[in-house]
Chain A
Amino acid sequence: MEPFSVRVETRAPRDARDVLPDDAADELMDRLEDYDGVVSSGPRSWDATVTIAAINPRQAAEEGTQIIEYWAAKSGLPSWPAVRIEAIRQDVLAEQLERPTLPDLVSAPEAADILGVRPQRLHQLADERRDFPEPAYELRAGKLWLRAAIEAFAQRKRQPGRPRKAVTAAG
């Protein structure tokens, strides 16, 4: 048996009139403490995550959903239908959480440093070379590129041989 993180997300049906009392979500947090529970809630939705031991994600999803739905009802949460059920092995989730989600971006001077050129030359390269990466963001203050894209371009640039010119149709 391995620990799995199981999340159930619910949404209120369009015609639902029941509201979600905030103390019910607090009560669900209390009741799920032994399962490392976390609860999120809004006016028209709530979701809960628990950790349970199971043989595989299918079994974890089934048992985790039962636990969440049982204690949610006991806590006074509306019995809105589940719209998403996810199960992930806890060590896989931990690996995912270690990776930053923000992209590593570089400005023009930093990109120029990576390429070993002056900023002015960087803009020339961007205009001349069709394989120069598109900026991820264009702000009033300037362009931002993904660092990995600039580094990959730098590697291409270092490769011997002249860059291929665009092929034009012979007249």
Chain B
Amino acid sequence: METDRPGQEVSKEHRQVITHLIDNEGWAYKTPKANGYPRLFPPKSDSSIKVPKTGHSKGHAFENWLAAIRRDGGHWPPGRKTKQEKEQEAEQEAEEAGEE
């Protein structure tokens, strides 16, 4: 299944998890049509998990969403960080340090 990349339609926390699942665990992501919700597809599955939009991240929605991902076989937090994730994390830290 072809995948989109997550953008500003989801929060930073959601984007981090989605990017990990796409790049390392074979998941696919579809941006919404019109006013719908983004969807996350586990590998070799015809079911999908709706992704709460930015603004839905308050309260316990993020925890409930992570639990749904883990039930469908996704891993978060990742066990060991991949080289790519370490690089992304270093870049992010450098950006944040630059902003301060």
Given A36-B59, A40-B68, A49-B64, 7 extra CB contacts under 8 A:
A5-B60, A26-B50, A29-B52, A36-B64, A37-B64, A41-B50, A42-B48
Query: What is the chain B residue whose CB lies nearest that of A99?
Result: B77
Flag if B66 contacts A41 (CB, 8 Å).
no
Bound Cα distance A43, B52 (Å): 21
Query: What is the chain A residue whose CB lies nearest that of B55?
Result: A33
Flag if A29 contacts B45 (CB, 8 Å).
no
- Of the four ranges (under 10, 10 to 19, 20 to 34, 35 or more), the interface on chain B belongs to 20 to 34
A33 partner residues in chain B, CB cutoff 8 A: 56
B77 partner residues in chain A, CB cutoff 8 A: 98, 100
Chain B, interface SS category? loop
Bound Cα distance A5, B75 (Å): 20
A47 partner residues in chain B, CB cutoff 8 A: 68
B49 partner residues in chain A, CB cutoff 8 A: 38-40
User: What is the CB-to-nearest-CB distance from B29 to chain A, in angstroms, rounded to a whole number?
Assistant: 14
User: What is the CB-to-nearest-CB distance from B81 to chain A, in angstroms, rounded to a whole number?
Assistant: 11
B86 part of interface (Cβ distance < 8 Å): no
User: What is the CB-to-nearest-CB distance from A159 to chain B, in angstroms, rounded to a whole number?
Assistant: 29
A169 partner residues in chain B, CB cutoff 8 A: none
Bound Cα distance A29, B36 (Å): 9
**Contacts from B to A (Cβ < 8 Å):** 32, 35-37, 45-50, 52, 56, 59-61, 63-68, 70, 72, 75-80
Count how many chain A residues have C-beta atoms less than 8 Å from C-beta atoms of the other chain.
33
Query: What is the chain A residue whose CB lies nearest that of B35?
Result: A26
A3 partner residues in chain B, CB cutoff 8 A: 60
A97 part of interface (Cβ distance < 8 Å): yes
Bound Cα distance A93, B36 (Å): 28
Bound Cα distance A66, B69 (Å): 24
A142 part of interface (Cβ distance < 8 Å): no
